[in-house]
Homo-oligomer: A and B are copies of this chain.
C-alpha cells in the first residue's frame, strides 16, 4: 500500500494529499510527530521533514504483474519532500496532468509552487502557524513580533494571490494545476486558524470556493488539530 508520512496542518503535506487525491491515487496516511524527531522516521528522511511518500515503483510493478520474463519485483521507493513527491507523481502517474504541457506552463506551475511552498511559508505560515500551533505542540514560547510580521506579510501575499485569481482562470493559467494546490494548501491551513478575513478578499474567496468544492479537498476539511477547533465556515463549501 502507498503510504504518506505527514503532519495534518502542514502545507507541504497538504499539497501532496491534494495531488494524490486529484489523481485518484489511494494512500494510507501516517501522522508523524516530527517535533519529537522519531528515530525510525529519520532513517526514512535524514532531513527529519514531512511529507515522505513510500510507493511501489509503478512501471516495474506493471511489468511484474504482466509476468514479463526477467521482470524484477517492484522496488519500494521513498520520496522525501513535497517538490520531489509532486515531480514523481507527475511522471509516474501522468494520466491526470497537474503540471502543464508546454515548457512555459511547466515553468509557471513550478514558479508558483515554489512561491507558495517557500516564500509564502517563510513570510507568513512559519510565523502564524509556526508560532500558534507548532510551538504549542513542542512547548516552546511564542514570539509575538513574528506573529505581527506574519500578518503584515499575509496582506501582501493575499494581494498577489488575488491578482492571479482575477487575471487567470486558475492560478497558473488556463488549467487547474499544482500551483492551485500549493496555494490552497497554505490558505486552508490559515483558514483553519481563522486568519483569513474573507470579506476583504473577494477574488481569493471565489477561487478558494472553486477549489474547496473539489472532491480531492474532502480529506483536508475533515482534519482536526488536537485541542484546536476550526471556525464554523472552515468545512463549509458556501462560506
Contacts and interface: CB of A to CB of B under 8 A. Distances in A.
Contacts of A119: 47
A46 interface: yes
A130 interface: no
A47 B115 contact: yes
A81 interface: yes
Contact of A110 (B57, B87, B104, B114): B87
Contacts of A65: none
A233 interface: no
A210 interface: no
A20 to B, nearest CB: 16
Contacts of A79: 107, 111
A107 B47 contact: no
A57 B106 CA distance: 13
Interface string A87-124: 11001100000000001101100110011001100000
A56 B104 CA distance: 11
A79 B59 CA distance: 31
A84 interface: yes
Contact of A103 (B81, B88, B104, B111): B88
Nearest to A58: B103
Contacts of A88: 103, 106-107
Q: Copies per complex?
A: 2
B104 A84 contact: no
A77 interface: yes
A115 B57 CA distance: 23
A227 to B, nearest CB: 29
A161 to B, nearest CB: 12
A49 to B, nearest CB: 9
Given A81-B110, A83-B114, A91-B103, 18 more contacts: A46-B160, A47-B115, A57-B104, A59-B103, A77-B103, A77-B107, A79-B111, A80-B111, A81-B111, A81-B114, A83-B110, A84-B110, A84-B111, A87-B87, A87-B110, A91-B106, A92-B103, A118-B118
Please provide the 4 A-B residue pairs with the shortest distance between their CB atoms, ordered closest to farther: A84-B110, A80-B111, A79-B107, A84-B111
